Amino acid sequence: MQVALVGVNGYSGMTLYRLLKQHPAVDQIKLYGHTDSKPTTLAALVPVFQKETVRVRSFDAATVMAENDVVFFATSAGVTKTLALPLIAANFPVIDLSGDFRLRQPDVYETWYHQTAAPVAALAKASYGLAEFNHHLTPYVANPGCYATATLLGLAPVVQQHLIEPTSIVVDAKSGLSGAGKKLSTTSQFTMVNDNLQLYKLNQHQHIPEIMQQLQQWWPKVPALEFTTTLIPVTCGIMSTIYAKAAQPTTTAELVAAYQQVYQDQPFVQVLPADDLPTLKQVVGSNDCAIGVNYNPITNTILIVSVIDNLMKGAAGQAVQNFNQLFQYPATAGLPDLPVFP
């Protein structure tokens, strides 16, 4: 299969290129920049890939469709809502790692992303690719955000089965620095990140509306959630710590059983035994999501801890998982099943 990748120079794009290189169904990867980018080489854009001689060409929709079977966009928000329109019109297979087509309502996108949304007709052709739950993908797959992936996988069983009070969801999510991308800022400097914790985008993170969109699809009675994001001094990894009041008194064992039932056939979700909570080291470098749950009968509170690698399950890994599903390859094809340790 001939695969196009637009945006290889970001962290997600680099990770995606590495995964596609080892995918058994991928024969060749062609790289493209934006329409106004000058041709260059991968080694020039990404010095750690010095051994790679492949060239990066300017994007042209007709050329991309003529030369490839599918295109991945690992671009920032605001790019695909313009570049991808000819591909959408042609029903050409696209897997988009940006946020441009995750939200169904243009006004919601404009509120949270602070820019004009894609046309309504184009948005209607996109499917939200939360891989464990969307088994009816359209040719245009909107890959979920990293925080959204960890949080939704953590909440899915208790929301779908109405095991919690729908108004009580509180999420304390923490991410490594690679989630902020390569763009430099004061908060991403070593002196600010090292030995420090920083809350950011309080009540403003752009993954909040896609989380709510999916939660309300599962259970319309969920009106909102409290969601905070914290930058932690690690390179990769997200820990989404979730609290919610139980709808009825329960036990940790009953909750674990509910999670095991939902995820029993999902190779990339690990439900840990009762009272065993996951760490980042269990997933970093893999496409896994590890989930632990606990019930406190004194406060009637359910605790859920969901961890992923933000560049793998939260971006490139899930994109390959959606690629496998879209083209009916084995779910695990091209994806590492063990974390990097130590």
Catalytic residues: 146
**What are the residue ranges of helices labelled H in the chain?**
11-21, 42-45, 61-67, 80-83, 85-89, 106-113, 120-123, 146-160, 190-193, 208-218, 252-263, 317-326
| Listed residue (79, 119, 68) closest to 323, CA to CA | 68
Q: Mark residue 265 as left, alpha or beta (left: phi above 0; alpha: psi -120 to 50; beta: remaining).
A: alpha
How far apart, in whole angstroms, are the C-alpha atoms of residue 127 and residue 329?
Answer: 19
List residues bridging with 173 in a β-sheet: 229, 240
Task: Using alpha carbons, list the distances in angstroms from residue 142 to 280, 307, 333.
Answer: 25, 21, 20
Structure tokens at 82: 């313009």
Give the DSSP H or E segment for 268: none
Q: How many helices (H) and strands (E) does the chain have?
A: 12, 15
The set of residues, in sequence order, having a beta carbon less than 8 Å from that of 191 and lying 6+ positions away, is none
The set of residues, in sequence order, having a beta carbon less than 8 Å from that of 17 and lying 6+ positions away, is 5, 8, 29, 31, 42, 49
Q: How many CB atoms lie within 10 A of CB 268?
A: 24
